[in-house]
Amino acid sequence: MKRIGPPVEPPKRLQKGAGVPDSGIVYVATGQKFVDMALESIRYLREVEPDESVTLITDADQAARLEKEAEGQRFDVLQLPAPQFGFIDKVDGIGLTPYKRTIFLDADTIPIRPFAQDMYRALDFCNLVALGGVGLNHDWESQLFSAALSQYNTGVLGLDSRAIKEFVPEWRETFLAEDDPKHDQSSFRAVVLRSNLRCGPLPPAFNFMGHGSVARPRILHFTGARRSQSFYKSPQARRQLVGEFAANEEPGFFAHFATASSAHAVLSPRGGGRLSWWLRGTLEWFVVRWSRFFRRSIRLLARTLPFR
């Protein structure tokens, strides 16, 4: 079994409030890049969930610089005792939650509508909730169980106290047992399928990654592929995109967060402006898809050519 550091020790709470509530939101981020992303997410979070308890779990170096930000945005800071600056930090950090009912958010999420109370209520019926229907990362995953059993995206999770006590330690052990683990989702899926805990299906609106049909998303999730694109790299373009999703009430079909179609726009009697908007969105969708295909083709060609 491959080990990545010792089991975590009890955390050090750096910001103290008036007691810890039963329910709260947890971020786990180590290193300046991901902590800065988490801070941006918390700033958006406070606009839609101003009263929720929030805890950021991070490494010692980042914790030392967060005192002023934590006070202004009203969140607590826990220090991760043995950070590895990889996926295992996420699993270990979730295990340190101070709450009985926990909502975990990845650092690259941006909440744009209230979501917490609905997720807490879901934990009255399930031990944990996660977005399913995610493709497998490895061929061996379909052989281990079945290709008909999808992965779960772990960027937005809800966990009750039993899941924290029983599921998270098993998730850690399973992750460390994998050969050169590069994702935490395959180990999460394995534990869900082996466990007798109930995992509820989280709707895409609570973990919207930019693809498919959605109306009124609650949480936008800018995964690695999205963060490499121009709309995310530009803070101004990112704010504009987030604002459009927060303001728009109409259902639409999206690819990489680009609007590809909208039933409202197609049926609107207002004509030209809406049609032009629809055509621009469709063109952007094709550009995104073809550029992605082109990049994959170049990578495949580079692997097959006999360069030395």
Can you give the pLDDT of all 308 residues of the chain as single tens digits? 333 444 444 444 444 445 678 999 999 999 999 999 999 999 999 999 999 999 999 999 999 999 888 988 899 999 999 999 999 999 999 999 999 999 999 999 999 999 999 999 999 999 999 999 888 877 777 778 888 888 999 999 999 999 999 999 999 999 999 876 778 999 999 999 999 999 999 999 999 998 888 889 999 999 987 888 777 888 888 898 899 889 877 777 787 787 765 544 444 444 444 555 566 667 766 776 777 778 778 878 877 776 55
Judge whether 237 and 230 are in contact, CB under 8 Å. yes
Given the candidates 3.40.50.300, 3.40.190.10, 3.90.550.10, 3.30.750.24, the CATH classification of the domain at 12-204 is 3.90.550.10
Specify the pLDDT at position 87.
92
Judge whether 108 and 212 are in contact, CB under 8 Å. no
b/e 36-48 (16+ beta carbons within 10 angstroms → b): ebbbbbbebbbeb
Other Cβ atoms less than 10 A from the Cβ of 279: the count is 11
Which two tokens mark 77? 């800071």
Of 51, 41, 52, 53, give the one whose Cα is nearest residue 112: 41
pTM: 0.80
Which two tokens mark 174? 């399973």
Domain with CATH 3.90.550.10 in the chain: 12-204
Specify the pLDDT at position 253.
76
Specify the pLDDT at position 230.
76
